[in-house]
């Protein structure tokens, strides 16, 4: 029965693009955010550039339901960066062709995906002089996993920028917090039912991507024991991996964008490493052991002025190319 539900999820979820980096019409420009929160000394000049002062290559990882090169989303973003900066841009595909790439954002083993991407990036001569990374929605925590697990084997990663990431997981299935209709609603319902029937059940936890960063604040014991991905990359288990902290702290900066009116990511402040305390209080990063005991090197990065908290207006992943150009490319990649 559980496998049957998974098949339903995979078929329907392909139609659900609610978490993809969809780029609206440029006439629908979003209101500029009212605040930007920086840590320590804030921005340092030249962090996105190589030794010769030129912009660095960029690696992208798309979000749920999206694909590496779709013209309506990641393809447009890739082209914009190439045109603006004149640099090599690699948009990660986790499946052959657009259909399989999108499908693999629902149905895959993330430990295997991250290992494949590590090997892929290590073999790319275009990145040998160092590079920057931009992760969209769930692609944010996946790129962070790449830095932590294999950053020491790669050319220097200067900046990691995540937009609407789920760094502390989600307590509700992504995409199911908004009023959806039609096929998208059916996809979310199937996914929700599957996770409710056993987010940490063996087949589900090893094959459904969203189950691998699902974090029930009322079942943290089960989460730590059975979730195959997020507890590891967040160094939450008793035995800590010091290499994860060293690799993440080696970044020149980690930029965390949170969407101000995000109802897709629950809680929305997971994008800033915040999460519920088991009740209804969201605990900020700097008040958690993850930070105070520096499980991931975030405290080190913060004290060096490299941990940056940014706000983005509107709902999850709803931005224009103009906003992305001004707030991400011009500010952090140029």
**Catalytic residue list contains 316:** yes
Active-site residue, selected from the candidate residues 18, 70, 104, 137: 137
Q: Is 311 a catalytic residue?
A: no
Catalytic-role residue among 66, 101, 262, 302: 262
CB 37 within 8 A of CB 310: yes
User: How does 250-288 read in b/e, with b if 16+ C-beta sit within 10 Å?
Assistant: bbbbbbbbbbeebebbbbbbbbbbbbbeeeeeebebbeb
Is 90 designated active site? no
Phi-psi region of 158 (alpha: psi -120 to 50; beta: other; left: phi over 0): alpha
Q: Note the helical H segments in the chain.
A: 2-13, 74-85, 97-103, 110-122, 138-150, 182-198, 202-207, 220-226, 230-233, 242-249, 289-292, 298-303, 321-324
Q: Between helices 138-150 and 110-122, what is the axis angle to 10°? A: 60
3-state secondary structure of 325: helix
Do the beta carbons of residue 272 and residue 162 sit within 8 Å? no
Annotated catalytic residues are 137, 262, 316
């Amino acid at each position: 029965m559980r496998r049957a539900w998974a098949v339903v999820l995979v078929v329907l979820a392909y139609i659900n693009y609610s978490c993809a980096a969809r780029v609206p019409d440029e006439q629908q420009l979003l209101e500029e955010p009212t605040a930007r929160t920086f840590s320590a000394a804030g921005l340092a000049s030249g962090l996105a550039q190589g030794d010769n002062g030129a912009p660095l290559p960029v690696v992208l990882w798309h979000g749920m339901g999206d694909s590496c090169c779709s013209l309506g989303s990641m393809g447009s973003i890739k082209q914009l960066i190439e045109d603006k900066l004149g640099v090599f841009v690699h948009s990660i595909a986790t499946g052959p062709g657009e259909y399989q790439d999108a499908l693999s954002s629902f149905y895959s083993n993330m430990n295997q995906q991250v290992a494949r991407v590590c090997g892929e990036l290590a073999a790319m001569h275009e990145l040998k002089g160092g590079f920057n990374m931009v992760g969209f929605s769930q692609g944010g925590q996946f790129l962070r996993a790449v830095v932590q697990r294999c950053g020491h084997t790669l050319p220097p990663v200067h900046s990691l920028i995540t937009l609407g990431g789920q760094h502390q997981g989600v307590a509700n299935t992504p995409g199911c917090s908004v009023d959806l209709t039609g096929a998208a609603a059916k996809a979310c319902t199937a996914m929700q039912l599957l996770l409710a029937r056993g987010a940490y059940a063996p087949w589900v936890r090893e094959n459904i991507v969203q189950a691998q960063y699902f974090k029930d604040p009322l079942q943290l014991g089960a989460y730590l024991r059975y979730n195959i991905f997020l507890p590891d990359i967040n160094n939450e288990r008793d035995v800590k991996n010091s290499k994860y902290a060293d690799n993440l702290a080696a970044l020149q900066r980690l930029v965390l964008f949170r969407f101000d009116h995000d109802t897709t990511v629950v809680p929305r402040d997971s994008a800033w490493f915040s999460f519920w305390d088991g009740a209804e209080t969201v605990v900020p990063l700097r008040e958690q052991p993850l930070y105070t005991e520096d499980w991931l090197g975030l405290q080190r990065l913060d004290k060096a002025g490299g941990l940056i908290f940014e706000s983005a207006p509107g709902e999850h992943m709803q931005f224009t190319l103009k906003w992305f150009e001004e707030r991400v490319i011009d500010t952090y990649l140029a």
